[in-house]
Structure 1
Amino acid sequence: MLAYIFRRLLLIIPTLLGILIINFIIIQAAPGGPVEQMIAKLEGFEGATSRIAGGGAEVSVAGSNYRGAQGLDPALIKEIEQMYGFDKPAPERLWIMIKNYARLDFGDSFFRDAKVIDLIIEKMPVSISLGLWSTLIMYLVSIPLGIAKATRHGSHFDVWTSSAIIIGYAIPAFLFAILLIVLFAGGSYLDWFPLRGLTSNNFDELSTTGKLLDYFWHLVLPVTALVIGNFATMTLLTKNSFLDEINKQYVVTAKAKGLSPNRVLYGHVFRNAMLLVIAGFPSAFIGIFFTGSLLIEVIFSLDGLGLMSFEAAINRDYPVVFGTLFIFTLLGLVVKLIGDLTYTLVDPRIDFDSREH
């Protein structure tokens, strides 16, 4: 097992490298980089000033020369390219980025006047809070509900819960978030929960118990919206996985030996059925951790990694884009490895080493 873990950890390195290179190539082909955006801003601002001053006259704004229809001074353009590191050819920039990332140096943001690693650390608590608690609650709800539906397949309970699951699957999480705000955050009815932020303004003045209560108080609505919008798939996956195992011959044999239903379900069916559910954990966690929480962060004014990554992509803030890409990829690979290792806890018969031999 240790040898398997070591090999998987070594495979993370070329995987990260390949993902960075592919995205770097894609970025080079994308129009409207930081240099072009800065030039457009300067030309737009200075061009407007030029027209106010009387048209094609030469004016000087912010220490740069705008020459009417000729645009900006080439020396200024070269200075902008050097400022963003685009004065070097693409292969050299890629090599510099890889060397820096090997030292976990993600550089500085183009537009936020801060180091990328500091921005990631600053935003991480929000994203971890949303991803961790949403995934945990989703599994705690989906697995028991899926098992109950499988054991009561075709009953009124199964029909009514399926109706609720279909509604939850059909309505996006951000619509549930808006509904929760209207109902419980002072929208039109009740004002029980805060509308914005992860903590209150007086958080530092509260006691330890008060800080915990305040923290979870702010998380109730965003986590609820994420859970309602994402638990349907996991519930149906659990139900179908258990139904498939319940109908197999070894279950019939176990029942014929006189074992109780709970002993058959949790002693024999559970381990086999849970393998498929566990396989979906990494994608579920990463999905909620990043893409699934973007709109939730916007709606509840939670400044996390999802919102920061989206704004960085829109603004072409490449150091932040690649820094967050590196972190999310690394996190996804590590969580995937943990998910594979969890197989052995659920079913000790699984042995990765013997399978490879």
Structure 2
Amino acid sequence: MSYILKRFLLIIPTLFSIILLNFLILHLVPGGPVEQMLHRIEHAAQERGGSVSTALDLEQDTVIKELNRQFGLDQPLWKRFYTMIKQYLSFDFGKSYFRGDYVTTLLLKSLPVSLSLGLWSMVFMYGVAIPLGIQKAVRNGSYFDFWTSIFMILSYAIPTFLFALLLMIFFAGGSFFSYFPIQGLFSWDWGTLSLWGKIKDYVWHLVLPVSAQVLTGFAVLTLLTKNAFLEELSKQYVVAAHAFGFKPRTILFKHIFRNAMIVMMAHLPLTLFHVLFSGSFLLEMIFSLEGIGLLSYEAIGNRDYPIIFGSLYLFTLIGLVLHVISDLLYTWIDPRIHFEGNKTS
């Protein structure tokens, strides 16, 4: 209990350090939000056919001062950080510089898209990894084990974005077939479709991004499953069960499965975090899915600090909490495990 309490208390300085480090780095990088806004003003003036000097040069100092005041950049760096942290304690992430909406609203609007991609990817990852890992353990050393291992190594070595691009080339109107949509989570006429039509449209848009995520993410989970089952297969209670005449299938699924799944279930929170906030980042950009990953990417390009730090704060907090939950699952599934002193009873 004291270990878990320490882990939760450790979240506070860890979260603070990560936010502080990123805050300093982003504010030291040239090309902040004021420069981005000036560039937009200049571009708008050119599109209207007016003189850029009229828009900027004559009153540039005034414009810059007003933008700094508007963005709160006229305050000392320490004061900006202090104000930001104080607001973040109540999950007030402020207002976007360029989108004209509150960051919390933008994150909540983007979250369902990221959840759709992440949760379905995780379901199929486990759906592929667990049966495949069990078969590899049971048939360890066979041709099946060898060739599936080769395929897993290749899938793990190829980056997610490359898989996504290959799937788009082959199946989304590239050089070969045009079976699947190339962008978005819904079609433009989604609102006019029937219930069944909406479901089919939703699933059809998810096929390629989920496939790309699963193809690059199932290998680690498969190896975890295989190793967990191999470890259980070598234990004495399995030998005893065979000696008593239990059927191999009964031993595998009634006795071995429950013990081997400890590692997989405890790994579930970390897999969820990786799929939701790490693995789907590039996929959202490639398939133009308006999730948190795409929102954060555009915010980085625009130096939209409220979105950048708000999403970073949320991601980091969720990641740290999920790490603690993972430890809790270990002890809940197997009470013999104790983290303090790394002892097992």
Q: TM-score range by the shorter chain?
A: 0.7 to 0.9
Quote the residue 2:112 is aligned against: 125
In 1, distance between residues paired with 2:336 and 2:309? Answer: 40
Correspondence 1:239 to 2:231? no
The aligned amino acid for 1:301 is S
Structure 2 residue 48 is matched with structure 1 residue 61: no
Q: Give the corresponding residue for 2:285.
A: 298
* Mapping of residues 255-334 of structure 1, within 5 Å: 255-334=242-321
| 1:17 partner letter | F
Gaps of 5+ in 1: 67-71
Residue 277 of structure 2 aligns with an amino acid whose one-letter code is: F
Give the match's secondary structure for 2:58. Answer: strand
Number of corresponding residues: 341
- Which is higher, the Rg of structure 1 or of structure 2? 1
5 Å-filtered alignment, 1:48-197, equals 59-61=53-55, 65=58, 72-73=60-61, 75-197=62-184
The range that moved more, 83-92 or 245-254, is 245-254
Distance 1:44 1:248 in 2: 70
Separation (CA, whole Å) in 2 of partners of 1:287 and 1:336: 11
Per mean C-alpha deviation after superposition, the further-off stretch among 219-228 and 28-37 is: 28-37
SS at match of 2:54: strand
Offset at 1:217? 1.6
- Tell me: CA distance 1:79–1:222, structure 2 relative to 1, closer, same or farther (3 Å): same
Bigger mean CA offset, 117-126 vs 332-341:
332-341
Aligned-partner residue type, residue 99 of structure 1: K
State the Cα deviation string for residues 141-188 of structure 1 (Å, max 9, x = none). Answer: 101111110110011221221222122122222222223223332334
Give the distance between the partners of 1:166 and 1:9, measured in 2 at CA: 36
Report the Cα distance in structure 2 between the residues aligned to 1:6 and 1:212, rounded to whole angstroms. Answer: 44
- The Cα of 1:283 is off from its aligned counterpart by 3.2
Q: Partners of 1:161 and 1:291 in 2: how far apart?
A: 26
> What is the letter of the counterpart of residue 58 of structure 2?
N
> Are the aligned partners of 2:160 and 2:216 in contact in 1 as well (CA < 8 Å)?
yes
Three-state SS of the structure 2 residue aligned to 1:290 is: helix
- Give 1:202 deviation, angstroms: 1.9
Q: Deviations over 1:84-108 (max 9, x none)?
A: 1111111211111112112221111
Supply the RMSD in Å over aligned alpha carbons.
Answer: 3.3
CA change 1:276–1:10 in 2 (3 A) is same
Counterpart CA distance in 1 for 2:26 and 2:288 is: 29
Distance in 1 between residues matched to 2:37 and 2:193, nearest whole Å:
44
* Structure of higher RCO (CA pairs closer than 8 Å, 6+ residues apart): 2
Alpha-carbon deviation of 1:15? 4.1
For structure 2, the residue ranges without an aligned partner over 5 or more in a row are none
> Which residue is equivalent to 1:224?
211
Q: CA deviation at 1:4?
A: 8.3
* Aligned equivalents of 1:214, 1:236: Cα separation in 2: 34
Question: Retained in 1: the 8 A contact 2:185–2:205?
Answer: yes
Q: CA deviation at 1:352?
A: 7.8
After superposition, the C-alpha distances for 1:197-221 in whole angstroms (9 at most, x for unaligned) are 1012222222333322221121111
8 A Cα contact 1:271 1:346, kept in partner? no
Letter in 2 for 1:133: W
The one-letter code sitting in structure 1 at the alignment partner of 2:270 is S
- Alpha-carbon distance between aligned partners in 2 of 1:44 and 1:224, rounded to the nearest angstrom: 40
How much identity, in percent, do the aligned residues show?
Answer: 52
d(CA) in 2 for partners of 1:205, 1:16: 45
Q: Which residue of 1 aligns with 2:18?
A: 19
State the Cα deviation string for residues 306-332 of structure 1 (Å, max 9, x = none).
111122122211100011112212322
Q: Please, which moves more after superposition, 217-226 or 268-277?
A: 268-277
Change (3 A) 1:13 1:211: farther
Flag the 1:309–1:264 CA change in 2: closer, same or farther, 3 A: same
User: Counterpart of 2:33?
Assistant: 34
Q: Which moved more, 1:301-310 or 1:291-300?
A: 291-300
Looking at structure 2, the residues matched to 187 and 278 of structure 1 have their Cα atoms a distance apart, in angstroms, of: 39
